[in-house]
Amino acid sequence: MKFVKFHGLGNDFVIVDALEESGLPENREELPGLARDVCHRRFGVGADGLILIKKSDKADIYMQIINSDGSEPEMCGNGIRCVAKYVYDAGIVPRRQIRVETLAGIILPEIITDDHKAAMVKVDMGQPGLERSDIPMLGPAGRVVGEPLEHRGEIFRVTAVSMGNPHCVIFVDDVQAVPLYQLGPELEVHPAFPRKANIEFVQVLNQGEVIMRVWERGAGYTMACGTGACAAGVASCLNGYTGRKVMVHLQAGPLEIEWSVNNHVYMTGPARKVFTGDYPLE
């Protein structure tokens, strides 16, 4: 199986062009095992997720992503930037504006070029889901903004946002002091979230900047999360900490998030090719 390794601010993916590659499992039930093997950082290529580029009847391509634990999320912000750069550079979709079908609907990344090369990718991530049922999260109807959530006797003030996948944003004074490896996996499966949740801890620096650390549903700790950065930007604005445009600082660099007046969230950031390879399927 020929693949290319990409990362978006350290959130890394094994991308396979399933339009050309033969020999991939035809049975969808076999893909979780393949993803777990490929993404293993000791016995495989090593990645946060496996991405398959497939044919779409509704868009230019279909992006299927399987997390490193074998689960299939609805969307991945860093992943879609990597896919957009790959298909543009490879000439699969030669236009700067690309339509990508995902489980969260059709997402619209745009290539920002530098000397005719893809330099950055700006993605129209669509409208955030803010109603409790959009997340989904148990409880009465309405938005979840700074709502108390009890866990092991401690109260967390949470803001819930769906970016096609569920996010729980918690504002803290110091993100580095958060025991992420303890709280992340526990809050991910909190009973309030019937489909689990991505957990973001966010520290506000000023009206235009925040720092974020994330525990991703199905992938665990990752250096960056695109949909999580979008959720953090929306949540920061909802709580009055920032304006509608915010720089979200992650471990390997920032993502620019804008919650536009048209209610769409725009994410701009880099995507980098690391290497190509051939993974044995037998």
CB atoms within 10 A of CB 54: 15
Q: Which of 39, 168, 225, 230 is catalytic?
A: 225
Q: Is 237 part of the annotated catalytic residue set?
A: no
Q: Which of 39, 76, 82, 230 is catalytic?
A: 76
Per DSSP, 28 falls in state: G
Decide if 203 contacts 246 (C-beta within 8 A): no
Q: Is 225 part of the annotated catalytic residue set?
A: yes
Per DSSP, 223 falls in state: S
Decide if 24 contacts 16 (C-beta within 8 A): yes
Give CA–CA dist 37/68, Å, rounded.
8
CA–centroid distance for 152 within its chain: 28
CB atoms within 10 A of CB 9: 23
Which residues carry out catalysis? 76, 225
